[in-house]
Amino acid sequence: MQHLEPSDPERIGAYRLLGRLGAGGMGQVYLARSTRGRTVAVKLVRPALADHAEFRDRFRQEVLAARRVGGLWTAPVLDADTEAPVPWVATGYVAGPSLQSVVAGPHGPLPEHSVRALARGLAHALKDIHEAGLVHRDLKPSNVLITIDGPRVIDFGIARALDTGTDAGLTLTGALVGSPGFMAPEQVRGDRITSACDVFCLGSVLTYAASGRLPFGEASGGVHALMFRIAQEEPDLDGVPESLQELIGDCLHKDPAARPTPERILERVPAAVPDPWLPPSLVAQLGSHAAQLLDIEAPGSADTAIAPPPLPRDAPPPLPQPGHAVPPPPYDPYYAPDAPDAEPPPKRSATSTAALIAVALVVAVGAGGSVYAYMSGGIPRTGGDTAHPSTSLNSPSPSASSDDKGISTSPRPTPADGVPQQYVGSWSGGVPGNSGDNPRHLVIRAGRVGDTVLTLTADGPGYHCLFQAPLAATPTTPDAPLRIGPSTVGPGSTGACNPGKPSTLTLLPDGRLHRETAETGEFVDYTRAAD
């Protein structure tokens, strides 16, 4: 979640905004809280779209239809104002990462039993959506959220409001329904769209979940070439378990009439799946997300303004704007600020705490005996070891095999100073911004626990920040993640620069460096810089 920007409203309808969740073709999505304390996701339509009468008509119709979608597999529409100067819609907030971030992250593709459970959950969701008279049209990994109880589909039905034709000028503003790589042949050709379109997209999503690859390749060779392959060529299912290839191949049939319906998919996929349906390390990460959400949902006055994070002493304060919070600083990097609490943290209810402990015990059983429990402040501690606040819940245990972690098994000695040699060097990455990626340059040095071993330079519009962080603990094995931080703001920084929370560093199989904050699960991947 990102902090609100000066141009963001403080409220939308009866909902007080807490931060930014993301943006899409329709508009900006916010995390918000109702006057009764419910956490929701509010999508605010882009003003350029709000000016089109045809879009408003479609938006109004789709919101009414989407309210009819029920079931456990979608984010329900809770509220909306289709007549506001800038229309908006509020849906239930799903506390979980997207399938896109799970597969693209260190977890990689899901195991076979997880893909089967995913197929059943998404088939249930499409069944509910289609029975409400809607076609999703944009089912893709970023629109599938992963929870402990199963997948949840978001943005159902609303995407169709964007398809108002070129007469409204919407194509000029980038409002394209469908995502390259996850479109059906009839979408590519501009033919009539039916519910079978969503089934084709489901096949592409399952292929990605099982293999980490798209069935028709990437768009690196050009979007038009990708669309040609979707319309004319057979899917590439390499990496998909053989037991799933027939079902996925049927979903990816070129002829919409030949594809199975969601009901038929449910008949073909066994209902019995292991519990939990996800790998233990991913379940642990979801437990961490749940703990963070409890803090966000802390009770308080709905009329209380959100206090901006404190700025370091040497950072010039940004110019305030009436009615808005201070512009968000560039955190270290891509993370929430490590700001002191203005008051003692709220106590969690016994029910919430019990739920988190239950999640922890599930992880303990699946991980072979490493017991996790949430102690004060939501910091996980491991049995038999003194935990540090930077311990990542989804980091593998020291006894886990290198195959489980996806890291090379070649022997590398752990030096006495604590930082394995393979981490030392310069690394480059980027954080998405409005005008492209904002560069990040990371330098890791050898050093002992407590020494400054990490230096990060973060640049972007109006800021140049230098962050420094110490080594928190010596790795227990050569391939164990490095525990770093928290970071401090170094000399020479300009703009609003805030320190960052503890993080872990992990080498990925492809040679990239994965840096992840221990508390929020947000991450940035780096590549080794050329000498």
Mean pLDDT, the chain, whole residue set:
73
pLDDT tens for residues 183-218?
Answer: 999 988 888 889 999 999 999 999 999 999 999 998
Structure pTM? 0.55
pLDDT: which is higher, 62 or 248: 248
Which residues does the annotation mark as catalytic? 138
The winner for highest mean pLDDT among 94-108, 122-136, 232-246 is 232-246
pLDDT tens for residues 306-319?
Answer: 333 333 333 333 33
C-alpha radius of gyration, the chain, whole number: 24
CA angle 205–209–211, rounded 5-degree value? 115
CA angle 148–153–157, rounded 5-degree value? 165
At residue 243, does pLDDT exceed 80? yes
Please state the domain extents for the chain.
11-268, 421-528
Looking at residue 209, its pLDDT comes to: 97
The winner for highest mean pLDDT among 174-183, 215-224, 244-253, 321-330 is 244-253
pLDDT tens for residues 320-357?
Answer: 333 333 333 343 333 222 222 222 323 333 333 334 33
Architecture of the CATH domain 11-268: Orthogonal Bundle (1.10)
At residue 465, does pLDDT exceed 50? yes
20 has which bridge partners? 2, 30
Mean pLDDT calculated for residue range 123-127: 95
Please give the order of strands across the beta sheet that includes 88-92.
11-12, 15-23, 27-33, 39-45, 88-92, 77-81
Distance CA 505, CA 511 (A): 12
Q: Which of the 8 DSSP states describes residue 510?
A: T
Looking at residue 524, its pLDDT comes to: 86
The winner for highest mean pLDDT among 30-44, 213-227, 485-499 is 30-44
Q: Return all residues near 315 (Cβ < 8 A) that are at least 6 apart.
A: 329, 489, 493, 494, 495, 496, 497
Looking at residue 518, its pLDDT comes to: 67
Looking at residue 311, its pLDDT comes to: 30
Looking at residue 434, its pLDDT comes to: 56
**SS3 for 280-291, per residue?**
HHHHHHHHHHHH
At residue 88, does pLDDT exceed 50? yes
The winner for highest mean pLDDT among 11-20, 249-258, 381-390 is 249-258
Mean pLDDT calculated for residue range 1-10: 87
Mean pLDDT calculated for residue range 229-256: 95
At residue 221, does pLDDT exceed 50? yes
Mean pLDDT calculated for residue range 463-472: 87
Among the listed ranges 21-25, 64-68, 276-280, 377-381, which one has the minimum average pLDDT value? 377-381
At residue 292 the predicted structure's pLDDT band, cuts being 50, 70 and 90, is: low
Mean pLDDT calculated for residue range 272-281: 84
Of the chain, the percentage scoring pLDDT greater than 70 comes to 69
At residue 233 the predicted structure's pLDDT band, cuts being 50, 70 and 90, is: very high
